[in-house]
Structure 1
Amino acid sequence: MRTTALGRSGTTVTELSFGAAAMGNLLAPVTDAAAAAAVDAAWNAGIRYFDTAPHYGLGLSERRVGEALRHKPRDQYTISTKVGRLLRRVREPGCSDLANGFAVPATHHRVWDFSAYGVRTSIEESLERLGLDRIDIVYLHDPDDHEEQAFGSAYRELERMRGEGMVGAIGAGMNQTRMLTRFVRETDVDVILLAGRYTLLDQSAAARLLPEAHKRGVRIVIGGVFNSGLLADPKPGAHFDYAPASQELLARALAIKEVCAEFDVPLRAAALQFPLLAPTVASVLVGVRSAAEVEDAETMMRHRIPEQLWFALRSRDLFSWHVPLPAPRRKKGA
């Protein structure tokens, strides 16, 4: 599987990467055996980049990913985690953390902290949960409401830790483009993780963020390529960005699906491969909860897509004209 280096860090990621939110029992329980099988399936598929966070299942995702990778050669995979939410044990555990999206006992609560102390403490605690002595990539996790502290304290601490060798590449992960564009312009990040804003239904990142990242040599990891499910299976009741999709969005998704069908391409394959058309996009991060979902993602990533499909979508105004497309191949003899 193709790999790409992130900035000057030397850290590499595979073009398809493993999103481990579900390993923290996102919305519904996943057994330890199923979680381990999913990681093994990813490894067998050639995936070597695994993304997790303390937020996912109050540390459960980090523990499971760390355990599943325990006996894999450490120099053959890349792991990322995130900072911004410290986990603190509660005196009287609640029944469930489902209010925050995870089917785990509410043994801890999350404390937002983008201070230098919070960043270093978070990484030290993640290292313990993962069972590692270093983390390859660290993202500032959803600093939307903590902008000045994220730039003034958290980023600077990550930069120091990168210099110390405690972490490899550094960046920020969000589902908005404005702050990520600021990170690209004003800091020395290696990579950014963008969720939901560069998909077949939403190319808002193409206007400013992608060109700026390309100009400055910052790589992008794209998450949320299915926009919460609408691009996986567009039908009445499907969700877009965690809410029921509007009729307009559903109609667009169905129109895109129809064009894909004309070229014998599953919509899921087009959704997965579309972000990689942009030269600065290094990897597509797919959230999975089973070995079967990993295998499906690999199949969709390897499905051949004719270049004409992308131009057909553009010609029918089904996505932005800002989107970079491959140069049309010249006919023989032309």
Structure 2
Amino acid sequence: MTTPRRPPVTRALAASELAFGAAGIGNLFTPVSDEDAASTVAAAWNNGVRHFDTAPHYGLGLSERRLGEALRDLPREQYTLSTKVGRLLEPSSSTDGDDLANGFAVPATHRRRWDFSAHGVRRSLEDSLERLGLDRIDIVYLHDPDDHADQALTEAYPELEHLRAQGIVGAIGIGTNQTALPARFVRHTDIDVVLLAGRYSLLDQQGLTELLPLAAERGVRVVIGGVFNSGLLADPRPGATFDYAAAPDAVLARALELKAVCARHGVPLRAAALRFPFGHSAVATVLVGARSPAEIQDAAAMLRHRVPAALWAELRQRGLLAPNVPVPQEVD
């Protein structure tokens, strides 16, 4: 049975086409200084970004603390802030070592504990608000609940729905890198938004099979992350990564062909990769991670770059995009 759909919450999703992903300033893979983190957020703001995303998972809370500090003096009504629930941070019995096993170059002062209970949701949000030092959170995502789907659906989601009704959170989302589970949430709950990572890009259109059409039908907005598929579409070359592993030869060859077509039309591949998701009516925002002002400035410039209709037509003609894949309509 499909849940009847109420009018969607759109205010929190109308901030900007480009969203800032704050995992990088949580020391993803390598350290970032406090000063560089602050200047990166400032560069995002100066380039028109008004949508900022973080999570407790990113740097064991470091990302939330840095993002909150950088946003604190900016006009609160002008930007959207999202964070996530599902992983509680608990002090570690040992502070030796680092968190690189989980991808973050920070001291292992805490450990993560999965918790999609109602109590876990409330505690996670209280902790996040304290780290952020801000008055509210606009979007709360259920973060990677793949192995905890039933608890997320029957305990975490109802608690978020209760908090949304009270006005404590603005919108409810689910963030994941697969399509089946968010489709389940779209079909059976009153969720507002899906953050889909890596599954709707020039190289991977799994999101088009079920999730995106269902979201469009139900009035659920979609934020697309991972448009570069962890690096390959930013700079296709031998050794580049695709979904966090070395790109297979066939995938690399396809990326290089995409790059060649873009070059013939005077368009950087990065620009086409960033613009592509907006061809689907359910897509509201593209989320890009950045760890330096140069990275976020480049993303903003690439998203503004004109991508002509002839480029999309050639991608279809060469079989690099299927005929049923929607493409953006360039406005002259």
Which bracket does the TM-score occupy, shorter chain normalised? over 0.9
1:321 is displaced (CA, Å) by 3.0
1:308 is displaced (CA, Å) by 1.4
Residues 1:173 and 2:175 are matched in the alignment? yes
Q: Following the alignment from structure 2 to structure 1, what is the Cα–Cα distance between the partners of residues 280 and 139?
A: 21
Equivalent residue for 2:238?
236
Relative to the length of structure 1, the TM-score reads: 0.95
Residues 1:30 and 2:32 are matched in the alignment? yes
CA contact (8 A) 1:203 1:320 kept: no
Amino acid at match of 1:97: D
Residues 1:195 and 2:197 are matched in the alignment? yes
What stretches of structure 1 of length at least 5 have no aligned partner? Answer: 1-5, 330-334
Classify 1:326/1:227 alpha carbon distance in 2 versus 1 (closer, same or farther; 3 Å). Answer: closer
Classify 1:107/1:206 alpha carbon distance in 2 versus 1 (closer, same or farther; 3 Å). Answer: same
CA contact (8 A) 1:203 1:319 kept: no
Q: Following the alignment from structure 1 to structure 2, what is the Cα–Cα distance between the partners of residues 64 and 299?
A: 24
Equivalent residue for 1:255?
257
Residues 1:136 and 2:106 are matched in the alignment? no
CA contact (8 A) 1:192 1:220 kept: yes
Secondary structure, in 3 states, of the residue corresponding to 1:94? coil
CA contact (8 A) 1:19 1:288 kept: yes
Q: Following the alignment from structure 2 to structure 1, what is the Cα–Cα distance between the partners of residues 75 and 84?
A: 22
Residues 1:270 and 2:275 are matched in the alignment? no
Classify 1:261/1:31 alpha carbon distance in 2 versus 1 (closer, same or farther; 3 Å). Answer: same
CA contact (8 A) 1:200 1:274 kept: yes
Equivalent residue for 1:109?
111
Q: Following the alignment from structure 1 to structure 2, what is the Cα–Cα distance between the partners of residues 95 and 319?
A: 46
State which drifts further: 48-57 or 273-282.
273-282
Q: Following the alignment from structure 2 to structure 1, what is the Cα–Cα distance between the partners of residues 145 and 257?
A: 35
CA contact (8 A) 1:231 1:253 kept: yes
1:97 is displaced (CA, Å) by 0.4
Equivalent residue for 1:7?
8
Q: Following the alignment from structure 1 to structure 2, what is the Cα–Cα distance between the partners of residues 150 and 132?
A: 26
What stretches of structure 2 of length at least 5 have no aligned partner? Answer: 1-6
Q: Following the alignment from structure 2 to structure 1, what is the Cα–Cα distance between the partners of residues 167 and 134?
A: 13
State which drifts further: 303-312 or 18-27.
303-312
1:124 is displaced (CA, Å) by 0.6
Relative to the length of structure 2, the TM-score reads: 0.95
Classify 1:234/1:247 alpha carbon distance in 2 versus 1 (closer, same or farther; 3 Å). Answer: same
Q: Cα deviation per residue 1:100-148 (whole Å; 9 max; x = unaligned)?
A: 0000000000000000000111001000000012100000000000010
Q: Following the alignment from structure 2 to structure 1, what is the Cα–Cα distance between the partners of residues 319 and 112?
A: 43
Secondary structure, in 3 states, of the residue corresponding to 1:171? strand
Pairing partner for 2:186 from 174, 184, 189? 184
CA contact (8 A) 2:277 2:327 kept: no
1:328 is displaced (CA, Å) by 9.4
Equivalent residue for 1:321?
323
Amino acid at match of 2:100: L
Pairing partner for 1:302 from 292, 304, 311? 304
1:210 is displaced (CA, Å) by 0.8
Q: Cα deviation per residue 1:227-274 (whole Å; 9 max; x = unaligned)?
A: 010001111111000000000000000010011011000000001111
Residues 1:205 and 2:207 are matched in the alignment? yes
Amino acid at match of 2:294: A
Please show how residues 61-76 of structure 1 align to structure 2 within 5 Å. Answer: 61-76=63-78
Secondary structure, in 3 states, of the residue corresponding to 2:106? coil
Equivalent residue for 1:285?
287
Secondary structure, in 3 states, of the residue corresponding to 1:124? helix
Equivalent residue for 1:96?
98
Q: Following the alignment from structure 1 to structure 2, what is the Cα–Cα distance between the partners of residues 328 and 48?
A: 23
Q: Following the alignment from structure 1 to structure 2, what is the Cα–Cα distance between the partners of residues 267 and 152?
A: 42
Amino acid at match of 1:59: G
Give me the CA root mean square deviation.
Answer: 1.3
Q: Following the alignment from structure 1 to structure 2, what is the Cα–Cα distance between the partners of residues 92 and 204?
A: 42
Amino acid at match of 2:84: K
Q: Following the alignment from structure 1 to structure 2, what is the Cα–Cα distance between the partners of residues 101 and 328?
A: 38
1:9 is displaced (CA, Å) by 5.0
Amino acid at match of 1:106: A
CA contact (8 A) 1:206 1:322 kept: no
1:74 is displaced (CA, Å) by 0.8
Structure 1 stretches (4+) deviating beyond 2 angstroms?
A: 6-10, 319-322, 325-329
Equivalent residue for 1:311?
313
1:327 is displaced (CA, Å) by 6.4
Equivalent residue for 2:4?
none
